Structure 1
């Protein structure tokens, strides 16, 4: 692309400034001469220097339309000889397996039927490389190549060499004194590479995830009272083989603060502070956390609305006492600006109805504007799980005292299909099929269908959930089920067909009340001739019509303590309103869990008590409690009253049951990336009580007999879920009980 200057004057100095009567363009096929001359910026007869001619050449090259530009200068003619870039015929990406074409094509600026530009192709290659970088493949390389075609066209090919995933081999911390590295690693979304590194991708180094973990770590500490906590730096270091990262979080914990005094103040004339005393749940001596502070502010502002006092804002004033490591709080109730919600605009929802999104707002058009309520509404919309993006913002309305709330969402798939198999020591191998839609017809309703079972049992259910029945904070549920067993840990068959509608609603911050009804047909059939006479006499089908209620208290609904949870449930069912059975069933359960020793050890306690009292007639084996979940270490139907005088040695179940379980889980000292923890537990309980105690060849022992079991557990976090292996030993049992010394389950733990 050299510049050729032809001049007949013979004087080089004379070329320092020349004029040309004609300016021509040669070599162009698609681009008009006028377009090239426009980029050149030189007019015929204009006196130009060599530098100006070079600038014109650079402007033509800078247009991105030409591969090369030569300049030929004659006595009276300046000629630009150009070579156009070819047109892109098609674009393909080769060598990519981890990221599909659709993802990578969306990153490209180069397009078919447009002019090929090496600069743009190079930028596209870098964009693809960055996508692999975000996926943890730091060794990925992308090379753009062109394949010439006829008519000055080329095929553009991006050749990808993906390279291996760069994993996080080790995560360590510097400066942490209160919590171990192991506990802090549990809080992070980034994980160390473990046994299932080919299936679990949270051990892949992704820079955005590391930035997210900085905030996660900050929230973890500040929710536990460390108000001065800071992440000073995060240092990633490549291994010598350049196939793994070693991450080091350098942190500064600071001191742990508790709540000191808590006071109320106001500058609003005539405002009675006594109205707000019950809204303050934060107490002196509690560990300080931003969540406790925000909860108290929200309670105070809601109380003002309940009392009909609008535009009240609760501004916290924090007085720090470094000597006693306490924060003294004063909530100052002030009058905020008089601003109203003009309207709520919703965009981006093509399937979800507007009313589903609007139901997450506690305000409507015309209500006083409260920024806190808008933020909480945004969180509730995101918690629906219907959207990948849910942004809620307020802007000025048609007047200074009006705001418009804009809701912008992007929907995501909400349906799922489940196909699989399950296995248990008692039930063997079973198949599972399920369909689920969490946003049925865009109405925010949930529809589930599932069927599972094995050789000897089947369980199928259709469940419909309306979370806002009649537009209120009432959940309506409709369950239709069919269950059948065939000699399933017993010597008889059972079938149950029924439906259970229910409604539930909150009656306090943590408590919900449920009202339910059940209509079912329960059949016992094909009872073996060798079975207990008690079960033989219970054979046949009976219809049950039962009304019931349940009160449930769960601290997790408004939990401000990250380490402790507790719950309680009281349930009663009354059968006899129609049907052929007449009884009262009462179930009481409670659970508690906490973490101790700097949150490295988890402690849980569970209690359940059950009673079945028949008003008329007697219970049947299909109704009675037969040991499921009461005490571990026993087979299904393995404890409780049993007709040992029958040939089949039948388990009869009991009308009463209770169980208490105490458990601790702890690290075993193994590398954390294995995901293995240990545990120990102690269970105690019993099943007892029959209406009829005369068995096949004599009386049946239905007395209360205590069972006690101790055990050890191995917890293993795997991609298919948390696995649990229980090794048990019954230290107190009856001779006729059937024990199981080992059990394997998929379990969750606190």
Structure 2
């Protein structure tokens, strides 16, 4: 009886205090002043659940018949019911031995539409909102969706977007929801100001950060969109820039952003403290790991006493030492740099300490934030996997690789404790970004096709698999046509082998006498040797067709009636079509800091080819090129470069064909036409067996133009020669001797949204009478 009395007393206390008080805000509390002892109910009664169903309500209640409960259980039950999103009001009360749950259902969404949106299409907006058709209508969810839509518009530079909603009842309990969007104008960036900088001017620092001032092309580049996360990344880019140029004490003091509502423009002010510039002092390696001699590791160090301090060189040295020690059987060894500042002579001595780190293993690699890129594409950039020894240098290297892919706007790698003290969880947070591109390029050839155009579509993360696809079509106003298709799988068969193929077709009219057609394909595999060195093996097969005036006779054979044509070209037409079967091997060394606009580093390539596995060509060919970049003045952003190239081909059969020999000019030797120098017969270029080229150039930002336009000027000097001839039936050839040519010129380089464009004007200062001159050159091309 005592137990029954306690139950009745508890229930009476609840009933006398008016049961449960509920509010539309989504919270209900048991109104009893205190339930001294836990109550027990015998049954649960649900009221108002018409569409959702009684069972769905009961499943979200923590209170069970025959079990004691308290105010905390009622609070938790109310929270769970509201969290489903199906209810606008929830009330829980006790009547006798019955728990009464009264709910008011939210209306169901019949349709979700977007009105007024032009810059962001409906399908993309649907991906941002969580309110979905046949789901419940929730004021809190709709408010959150409005915030997400505004964030999406802010990401494209429209921070003043206005979003409202319209709700229309279409049937009992069903509504249509419309998000009404007033996109407003683009929010621009009026100015970016740096305060506290003396070593580098505003123009130089502006080239380091990704955020740019608004200009006439900002609608294409979208670099004038303000974003807080982007600004934080710009701060980090400034830190790395200064750290790599000797300023180890550099700090970003503040980044202030002000919005001018009248002009809808941001003004960004970044205040910095540069500190002193340091050089490296004494460099040494010490080891506390038994069996590892620090002196033997010193040759791996890239930092040298007397050089300008660079955090990048310190990091590279740490990674090189870590790889060597790990490969020697010490997977848990860690490398820690210890700096010794000398403020009197502004030097930093670095001692690389190698010690035995804590034994820790990777329990798992957790990837978050990737909405498009597949997990395995991210995982394969790690040199470790689950169960391997944890190594911080390996994690740092994976981060750089992921950033270099260009698939993500941000990459952050952190660690969390695992299930045991010696287990570590590696957490990878990424944010996908668009990786497709459509570009239109233009060039101009004097004496050739005149204006030339190329349109291309490429995707470097196809279907989130990390595969590269490119389709390009180009042509001139007269008869030149080019068609190209490329595909690359960067991890062939699960290995770090970039395998792919290229298909191509080119049609050109070299002069008024003949037409040239080339059709073929290449299969290639590239393997990295180190982070900076890679090797490629390729096989190419192509068919070359020469026809006079591009015409065929009545018999279906190429027409060859023009006796004024050079004998080798008559032979080419009569022997058409020709076939080449070529196997080649290349080695590339690349230390450039930026592939698009390098300021420091070396790019070198060496290739050798053998033709003769079938086909009409039989030769062995070697050629290569190296280009060195160095910043001459950081303050003026003055960049110098030196380059040199050479090649030689020898016949492994009877003679070489015209198309087997080297042809240079144009981009290799500005001021001359493509195929403008070297051996010729009756004005026709035959090519040569050997060539040498050299070039010196300096480029700089044009002072009268905004730096954000990425337009730079240049002065250059080119020199080179093409000589030797091994083509049969070529009596009377001129230009076979090793005569040098040279030119001087100036140019404009525009890093446009369509790719790098060059406008060069060069004047030959040393040439032969039979050379073909082309002073002006306008092309879309990279320096490599």
Normalising by the residue count of structure 1, what TM-score does the alignment of the two structures yield? 0.78
Q: Secondary structure at the match of 1:592?
A: strand
Q: Which moved more, 1:175-184 or 1:228-237?
A: 228-237
Q: 1:424 aligns with which of 444, 465, 482?
A: 444
How far does residue 438 in structure 1 lie from its aligned partner after superposition? 4.7
Q: What is residue 532 of structure 2 aligned with on the other side? A: 510
Q: What is residue 667 of structure 1 aligned with on the other side? A: 701
Distance change (3 Å), C-alpha of 1:88 and 1:344: closer
State yes or no: 1:608 paired with 2:645. yes
Q: Secondary structure at the match of 1:737?
A: coil
Distance change (3 Å), C-alpha of 1:206 and 1:305: closer
How far does residue 306 in structure 1 lie from its aligned partner after superposition? 2.1
Contact 1:619 1:655 in 2 (8 A): no
Q: Secondary structure at the match of 1:618?
A: coil
Q: 2:390 aligns with which of 369, 387, 398?
A: 369
Q: 2:603 aligns with which of 559, 567, 575?
A: 567
Distance change (3 Å), C-alpha of 1:241 and 1:249: same
Q: What is residue 493 of structure 1 aligned with on the other side? A: 515
Q: What is residue 8 of structure 2 aligned with on the other side? A: none
1:484-563 superposed matches below 5 A: 484-485=507-508, 487-489=509-511, 491-507=513-529, 510-526=532-548, 528-539=562-573, 540-541=575-576, 542-556=578-592, 563=599
Q: What is residue 194 of structure 1 aligned with on the other side? A: 215
For each residue in 1:279-326, what CA deviation from the matched residue of structure 2 results, as whole angstroms up to 9, or x when unmatched?
A: 222211222222222222222221112222332111221111111111
Contact 2:408 2:432 in 1 (8 A): yes
Paired with 1:718 and 1:479, the residues of 2 have a C-alpha distance of 26
Paired with 1:746 and 1:417, the residues of 2 have a C-alpha distance of 16
Distance change (3 Å), C-alpha of 1:283 and 1:626: same
Q: Which moved more, 1:612-621 or 1:245-254?
A: 612-621
Paired with 2:568 and 2:354, the residues of 1 have a C-alpha distance of 70
Corresponding pairs, count: 688
State yes or no: 1:722 paired with 2:722. no
For each residue in 1:47-71, what CA deviation from the matched residue of structure 2 results, as whole angstroms up to 9, or x when unmatched?
A: xxxxxxxxxxxx9xxx99889xxxx
Q: Which moved more, 1:183-192 or 1:228-237?
A: 228-237
Distance change (3 Å), C-alpha of 1:434 and 1:195: closer
Q: Secondary structure at the match of 1:568?
A: strand
Paired with 2:124 and 2:547, the residues of 1 have a C-alpha distance of 58
Contact 1:550 1:569 in 2 (8 A): yes
Paired with 2:24 and 2:150, the residues of 1 have a C-alpha distance of 35
Q: What is residue 679 of structure 2 aligned with on the other side? A: 641
Contact 2:588 2:603 in 1 (8 A): yes
Contact 1:388 1:410 in 2 (8 A): yes
Q: What is residue 93 of structure 2 aligned with on the other side? A: none
Q: What is residue 595 of structure 1 aligned with on the other side? A: 631
Paired with 1:499 and 1:83, the residues of 2 have a C-alpha distance of 68
State yes or no: 1:704 paired with 2:704. no
Q: What is residue 48 of structure 2 aligned with on the other side? A: none
Distance change (3 Å), C-alpha of 1:471 and 1:557: farther
1:67-466 superposed matches below 5 A: 91-104=112-125, 125=146, 128-146=149-167, 156-239=177-260, 241-269=262-290, 271-342=292-363, 358-381=379-402, 383-385=404-406, 394-397=415-418, 399-403=420-424, 405=426, 422-425=442-445, 426-428=448-450, 438=460, 446=468, 448=470, 450-454=472-476, 456-466=479-489
1:26-41 superposed matches below 5 A: none
Distance change (3 Å), C-alpha of 1:152 and 1:642: closer
Paired with 1:368 and 1:132, the residues of 2 have a C-alpha distance of 44
Q: Secondary structure at the match of 1:199?
A: helix
Distance change (3 Å), C-alpha of 1:191 and 1:349: closer
Q: Secondary structure at the match of 2:321?
A: helix
How far does residue 35 in structure 1 lie from its aligned partner after superposition? 10
Paired with 2:116 and 2:502, the residues of 1 have a C-alpha distance of 50
For each residue in 1:411-449, what CA deviation from the matched residue of structure 2 results, as whole angstroms up to 9, or x when unmatched?
A: 7887x5868675533334667576756567887554555
Paired with 1:403 and 1:83, the residues of 2 have a C-alpha distance of 47
Q: Secondary structure at the match of 1:622?
A: helix
Paired with 1:390 and 1:237, the residues of 2 have a C-alpha distance of 28
Q: Secondary structure at the match of 2:382?
A: coil
Q: Secondary structure at the match of 1:303?
A: helix
For each residue in 1:460-509, what CA deviation from the matched residue of structure 2 results, as whole angstroms up to 9, or x when unmatched?
A: 44545454456544444544544443x33462233444444444444455
Paired with 1:550 and 1:586, the residues of 2 have a C-alpha distance of 10
Contact 2:292 2:325 in 1 (8 A): no
How far does residue 611 in structure 1 lie from its aligned partner after superposition? 2.1
How far does residue 184 in structure 1 lie from its aligned partner after superposition? 0.7
Contact 1:630 1:686 in 2 (8 A): no
For each residue in 1:311-348, what CA deviation from the matched residue of structure 2 results, as whole angstroms up to 9, or x when unmatched?
A: 21112211111111111111222111223345657789
How far does residue 238 in structure 1 lie from its aligned partner after superposition? 4.1
Contact 1:510 1:557 in 2 (8 A): no
Q: What is residue 735 of structure 1 aligned with on the other side? A: 769
How far does residue 745 in structure 1 lie from its aligned partner after superposition? 1.4
How far does residue 410 in structure 1 lie from its aligned partner after superposition? 8.0
Distance change (3 Å), C-alpha of 1:749 and 1:280: same
Q: Which moved more, 1:470-479 or 1:223-232?
A: 470-479
How far does residue 270 in structure 1 lie from its aligned partner after superposition? 5.1
For each residue in 1:516-541, what CA deviation from the matched residue of structure 2 results, as whole angstroms up to 9, or x when unmatched?
A: 44444444343543211232234414
Contact 1:670 1:676 in 2 (8 A): no
Contact 1:467 1:476 in 2 (8 A): yes
Paired with 2:297 and 2:286, the residues of 1 have a C-alpha distance of 11
Distance change (3 Å), C-alpha of 1:159 and 1:390: same
The unaligned stretches of length 5 or more in structure 1 are 1-19, 25-31, 44-58, 68-81
How far does residue 128 in structure 1 lie from its aligned partner after superposition? 4.1
How far does residue 176 in structure 1 lie from its aligned partner after superposition? 0.6
Paired with 2:688 and 2:496, the residues of 1 have a C-alpha distance of 39
Distance change (3 Å), C-alpha of 1:246 and 1:675: same
State yes or no: 1:678 paired with 2:678. no
How far does residue 695 in structure 1 lie from its aligned partner after superposition? 6.1
Q: What is residue 29 of structure 1 aligned with on the other side? A: none
Q: Secondary structure at the match of 1:678?
A: strand
For each residue in 1:195-223, what CA deviation from the matched residue of structure 2 results, as whole angstroms up to 9, or x when unmatched?
A: 22443321233333223222222222122
Paired with 1:674 and 1:237, the residues of 2 have a C-alpha distance of 23
Distance change (3 Å), C-alpha of 1:597 and 1:442: closer
Contact 1:693 1:702 in 2 (8 A): no
Distance change (3 Å), C-alpha of 1:398 and 1:717: closer
